[in-house]
Structure 1
Amino acid sequence: MSFLNDLLGGGQGQGGGSLLDVAGSLIQKAGGVQGLIAMLQQHGLGDAVQSWVGTGANQPVSGGQLGQALQNGGLGNVLAEAAGKLGVDQGDLLGQLSQVLPHAVDHLTPNGQVPEQGAGGFDLGALTSLAGQLFGGKSA
């Protein structure tokens, strides 16, 4: 089983957290999908984030670019805590997040539409089917 599969929660247990949990936590702490998009745009990833929301191909970002934007947006503590929980280096975590977060935003913005910010907060269950899409039926 791959490192990415383990982090996505494709492993045995759901208890210790996964990369999708981290993505969900970042989205939640940023104030939902709208908040994360606005924060990443404000901190230099505007074109890439627009591609994630849009219906075309997702522009890649590096772990370094993502890390800088998240740190500048005040989410550095979320990254540090997640890396500790998962037992990985923060740089490795960012490298994996830079591959998963575009898919998460894309998945949460169907038809290129950012969902209205609800009063109930972000539902991590909205990302549950993403792991199946990333691994189900697609070869690497």
Structure 2
Amino acid sequence: MAAFEAPASPLEQLLIATLYDGSGVGAAVEELRQAGLGDKLDSWLGAGENLPLSADELSKALGGSLERIAVVTGSSADVVAQKVAELLPVTVDSVSPNGELPS
């Protein structure tokens, strides 16, 4: 399991909170699974290496959420997608030590 590091900036904290809409990681995970990214999700939940997530894949799966974050932060949707794509695999991996997301 990868080591979890707390978000380094208020922007990163806002990205996570906004993306998950206060409902936990499970909501984002379900959207990604429905978007056809189940193989990547399974790697984050499993004990092996985490498959990377590209900003483009994330944008296609969660475009509306990323746009909302961009508006709130004053960033571009591309910057938001890149940052969230970097954080999401390690976040899911960190909150699922037994291969299951918290309920």
Q: Report TM bin, short chain.
A: 0.7 to 0.9
Report deviation, 1:87.
2.5
1:63 is matched with which residue?
55
TM-score normalized by structure 2? 0.79
Aligned residues: 97
Report deviation, 1:24.
2.7
**Cα RMSD, aligned residues only:** 1.9
State the secondary structure of the residue aligned to 1:113.
coil
> Residues of 2 paired with 1:87 and 1:96: CA distance?
14
Structure 2 residue runs without a partner (length 5+): 1-6
- Structure 1 stretches of 4+ moved >3 Å: none
Structure 1 residue runs without a partner (length 5+): 1-6, 10-16, 117-140
Bigger CA radius of gyration: 1
1:87 is matched with which residue?
74
**Identity of aligned pairs, percent?**
32
> Residues of 2 paired with 1:93 and 1:79: CA distance?
6
> Residues of 1 paired with 2:49 and 2:62: CA distance?
22
TM-score normalized by structure 1? 0.60
State the secondary structure of the residue aligned to 2:49.
coil
1:40 is matched with which residue?
32
Report deviation, 1:111.
2.5
